[in-house]
Amino acid sequence: MAISQGQHVEKKPIFETTKGKQKKVGKTMPSVFGHVGLSLVLPVLLILLWEGVTRFQIVETHLLPAPTVIVETIADWAVDGSLWQHGGITLYRIFWGFIWGSLAAVALGSLVGMSNKAETMFDPLIQAFRAIPSLAWVPLFILWLGIGEPSKVTLISVGVFFPVYLNVVGGIQSVDRKLIEVGKAYGLSSFQLVRRIILPASMPSFLVGLRSGLGLGWMFVVAAELMGASQGLGYLLILGQNTLQPEVILASIVLFAILGKITDYGLKKIQSRVLHWQDRIDSSKG
């Protein structure tokens, strides 16, 4: 009774505003909820469908476990501590791989971007290495660095390196010549030009590189852990396969998705904070 009254009271003004010159324009909260709600419709429907077909035995549950089973698996891991152990080691690997890969890419990329000589010297070689599918390095890294952490971190940093490198070089080379001229007109030295114009101007491209580097990093951490690891989310994939536990595989896939999303979200936040000055379409969309 109360609910239906509430609905009635709410409906009335809406009907009036559509009739007479929309009064409520600046109300952002409902539209945000509407946005999130709309984007949730499809996933929720799919999960319900999935749960339905497994609950009623339409598909075989030993091949496709129900979403609730997957959630239970993750919850169990959280309780017995293996979630933190496996997730932690995976994060550790990707963190160091990302750091080393980006550092190397920034160092080489800025050298190649700034100097024509360095470009003719290094770039062809780097491009040639880029043509090698990075996973082809795995046997060699294992041979050289053993089966422990160094070979995995190295593989991940190779994956992170290329997108960051390409974007750093591209970013530096596409800095507006006109802005550099302003700096020159004020008599800035080469070092000052780099610090005050080239660095901030190439920041957008650099951050795009970091984000795609991180994406590749997640791809490579899976590859590294699939091939000879005794810990990590990638190891759980193999474990699930060998012990015929699809819920283990799916649970670690879900964890990969969640962690990948969170880390990318973090970088995206940094990106929009650092680049708040950028004149972009989505900044005017509101």
Partner 1 sequence: MSIEVSNVSRRFKGETAVNNVSFQAEKGEIVGLLGTSGCGKSTILRAIAGLDNGYEGTISVNGNPKRGTSKELGVIFQEPRLMPWLTVVDNVCFGLAGTKAENQIKAKKLLKVVGLEGFENYYPKQLSGGMAQRTAIARALVTEPDTLLLDEPFSALDAFTKLQLQDMVLDLWDSYQPTMIIVTHDIDEALSLCDRVVILKGQPGELYKNVQLNQPKPRSKADPELAKIKEEILYSLGLSRNTNEKIAKEA
User: Which residues would be at the binding site for partner 1 (CB under 8 A)?
Assistant: 178-179, 181-182, 184-187, 196-197, 200-201, 203, 276-279, 283
Give 84 or 186: the residue with its C-beta nearer to partner 1: 186
Query: Smallest distance, Å, CB 181 to partner 1?
Result: 6
Identify which of 226, 232, 186, 212 has the alpha carbon closest to the alpha carbon of residue 84: 232
What is the C-alpha separation between 157 and 104, in angstroms, rounded?
9
**For residues 101 and 164, is the Cβ–Cβ distance under 8 A?**
yes
Give 203 or 239: the residue with its C-beta nearer to partner 1: 203
Length of the chain: 286
Give 130 or 196: the residue with its C-beta nearer to partner 1: 196
What is the C-alpha separation between 253 and 260, in angstroms, rounded?
10
Query: Smallest distance, Å, CB 191 to partner 1?
Result: 15
Query: Smallest distance, Å, CB 193 to partner 1?
Result: 12
Give 154 or 202: the residue with its C-beta nearer to partner 1: 202
Query: Smallest distance, Å, CB 194 to partner 1?
Result: 14
Query: Smallest distance, Å, CB 271 to partner 1?
Result: 13
Query: Smallest distance, Å, CB 110 to partner 1?
Result: 18
**For residues 152 and 98, is the Cβ–Cβ distance under 8 A?**
no
Give 55 or 184: the residue with its C-beta nearer to partner 1: 184
Structure token pair of residue 266 = 């973090």
Beta carbons within 8 Å of 273's beta carbon, 6+ residues apart: none
Give 209 or 217: the residue with its C-beta nearer to partner 1: 209
Beta carbons within 8 Å of 251's beta carbon, 6+ residues apart: 70, 73, 74, 77, 236, 240
Q: How many CB atoms lie within 10 A of CB 59?
A: 13
What is the C-alpha separation between 230 and 233, in angstroms, rounded?
10
